[in-house]
Structure 1
Amino acid sequence: MIQVPESSLSFLKALIENNNRVWFEEHKNEFKEEEQKLKIFYNSVLEDLNENDSIEKMKIFRIYRDVRFSKDKTPYKNHRGVSFSRTTENLRGGYYLRISPGESMMAGGFFQPNSADLMRIRKEFETDDTEIREIIANDNFKSFFGKLEGDEVKSAPRGFDKNHAAIDLIRKKSFIVSRKFTDKEVLALNFREKLKESYLALRPFFDYMSDVLTTDINGVSVLER
C-alpha cells in the first residue's frame, strides 16, 4: 500500500524549526529523498483521480518561497503542495493536496478564475441559483467540506444588485472547498482512500460548474463555435 511516509512529515517539522538556507543546504539530499517518496504518493493519487475523471496535468509546487513582496522572509515553504488540473476544454476545476505538519488538507474548485469565467459564473447565479444551492446544501457535500469557500468582494461586483437573493454567491472571487486532516490521518494506510472519497464528493459541483463554463447564459455550448 502506497502511503505518505512518516519521514516526510519529520523533515518538514525539522524545516519549520530551521527555516534557513544554511540548514537546508546541509540537508538537501534528505529533501530530495523525501521529494521522491512523496512523488510516488502523488502519482498514486493521480492514478486514483483518473479512475473517475480526466486529469490533464499534475504540478508539484516548488519548496522555495517568493519573498520579494512578503514581510515573512523565511526562504522555504513548510508544506509540500501538488495540484491536479482536469482536462480543460470540456472539464473545469482542479484538485489540490497539501502535506504539512498539523495543517494537511485537500481542496478543490475554481481559484481566482479569469474575468470571463468569473462573469459567466456570476451571471449564472444571478439568473438561477437553484442548482448550485442544492449541490452545496447536499448532506454528502456538507459532511466532507462544510461549505463553499472563497474570497469575496465587500459589497457587490460592478453591474450586480447588492440586494440580489444570490449576492452571497455572486460576491465570491473564488469557489473552493477544503477538508483538513490530522497528522495521524495523513500517515494512516487509508489516507489515499480518504482522499479518493473526498475528491469524488466534489464531482457534482465540478460537473455543474463545467456545464456552466462550457455554455452561454442560454445553455448553448461555446465549444462548438
Structure 2
Amino acid sequence: MDSKTLHFLSQLAENNNRDWFQENRKLYDASKADMEQLVGYLITEVGKFQDLGNLQVKECLLRINRDIRFSKNKAPYKNNLSAGIGPGGKSSGKIDYYIQVQPHDQTFIGGGMWETTTEQLARFRQEIDYNADELKAIISKDDFREYFPEIHGEVLKTTPKGYSKEHPEIDLLKHKQLFFIHKYSDKEVASRDFGAMVLKGIGLLKPFTDYMNYVLYEHAAEH
C-alpha cells in the first residue's frame, strides 16, 4: 500500500473531527482507493482457491464512520481502514477474513469466532466436547502457529455450565471468543509484497475459518 495512506490515518487519529476530515477529503479518497486496490487483489487471488461468488470490493469495505450513538468516545471516524473478505462480503454474518490497516504497526489480518450467539457458543462447545482433535489439528500446525501464535478473545474465568473443570479440553471450552491475528509493521504495509503477505495469512486461516463456519452455521442447518 501507499505510505501516504498510513500517513493520512495517522493524521486522522490526531485530528478526528468533521471539519478536518472534509478539508482533507482528497487524502481520504486516495487512501480509500488504495484500500480498494488491495481488496480487489485479494478477492481475485482468494477466488482461485475459494468460491467467493461474484464478490465485489464495495461489499467488503467497512465504513470509516464510527457508530457513536452508544459510545462514550464521540470521535466520528475510525483511525483505520478495514474490510471483511469472504462469500457474501462484510454483511454475510459468517466468519470471514478481516483486514485492518492502521498505522504504528497496528495493521493485521484476522479471523475467528468473535460475536457469537448463545446457541452458536453452545454448538462450539458441544463440538469441542465431542471431538476437539479436528480443531486442535488445524491450529497446532507449525506454519499456523508461527503466523498466528496466540488465541485472542474473551475467556471465562469459571467453568462453562454443564462441563467439568476436569474436562481434558477445559481450556478450549472456556473460550467465548476464538480469534487469531497476525500484525504487520508499517514497513511491511508500505512494501510491494504486502498483498502477498496478507494472502499468505488468508491461506493459513482458511482451514480454521472453514471449520468454524461449519460448526457455527452449516452444521446447524443440517439438523
> Normalized against structure 2, the TM-score is what?
0.86
Measured in 2, the distance between the counterparts of 1:191 and 1:45 equals: 11
1:73-92 correspondence to structure 2 within 5 Å: 73-86=74-87
Cα 1:73–1:209, aligned 2, differ >3 Å: closer, same or farther? Answer: closer
Residue in structure 2 matched with residue 66 of structure 1 by the alignment: 67
Residue in structure 1 matched with residue 125 of structure 2 by the alignment: 122
Measured in 1, the distance between the counterparts of 2:219 and 2:69 equals: 40
Higher mean C-alpha deviation, range 129-138 or range 94-103? 129-138
Give the letter for the 2:178 counterpart.
Answer: F
User: How many aligned positions are there?
Assistant: 213
Deviation per CA, 1:24-67, whole angstroms, max 9, x where unpaired?
A: 12112321232122212211111111111123554211111222
Contact 2:5 2:30 survives alignment (8 Å): no
Measured in 2, the distance between the counterparts of 1:195 and 1:37 equals: 15
Contact 2:113 2:212 survives alignment (8 Å): no
Residue in structure 1 matched with residue 4 of structure 2 by the alignment: 7
Measured in 2, the distance between the counterparts of 1:87 and 1:110 equals: 17
Cα 1:196–1:132, aligned 2, differ >3 Å: closer, same or farther? Answer: same
Residue in structure 2 matched with residue 54 of structure 1 by the alignment: 51
1:149-160 correspondence to structure 2 within 5 Å: 149-160=152-163
1:133-212 correspondence to structure 2 within 5 Å: 133-212=136-215
1:215 maps onto 2:219 in alignment: yes
Residue in structure 2 matched with residue 94 of structure 1 by the alignment: 96
Q: CA RMSD in A?
A: 2.1
Deviation per CA, 1:55-111, whole angstroms, max 9, x where unpaired?
A: 3554211111222333322221111110113369xxx63100000102100101222
- Name structure 2 gaps, 5 residues minimum: none
Give the letter for the 2:100 counterpart.
Answer: R
Measured in 2, the distance between the counterparts of 1:113 and 1:81 equals: 20
Residue in structure 2 matched with residue 18 of structure 1 by the alignment: 15
Percentage of pairs with the same residue: 30
Measured in 2, the distance between the counterparts of 1:76 and 1:209 equals: 31
> Normalized against structure 1, the TM-score is what?
0.85
**Partner secondary structure for residue 172 of structure 1:** coil
Cα 1:161–1:87, aligned 2, differ >3 Å: closer, same or farther? Answer: farther
Cα 1:25–1:215, aligned 2, differ >3 Å: closer, same or farther? Answer: closer
Deviation per CA, 1:135-194, whole angstroms, max 9, x where unpaired?
A: 222111111100232212221232222332212111112221100000000011111111
- Name structure 1 gaps, 5 residues minimum: 217-221
Give the letter for the 1:54 counterpart.
Answer: D
Contact 1:136 1:148 survives alignment (8 Å): no
Stretches (4+) displaced over 4 A = none
Cα 1:76–1:86, aligned 2, differ >3 Å: closer, same or farther? Answer: same
Give the letter for the 2:163 counterpart.
Answer: F
**Partner secondary structure for residue 74 of structure 1:** coil
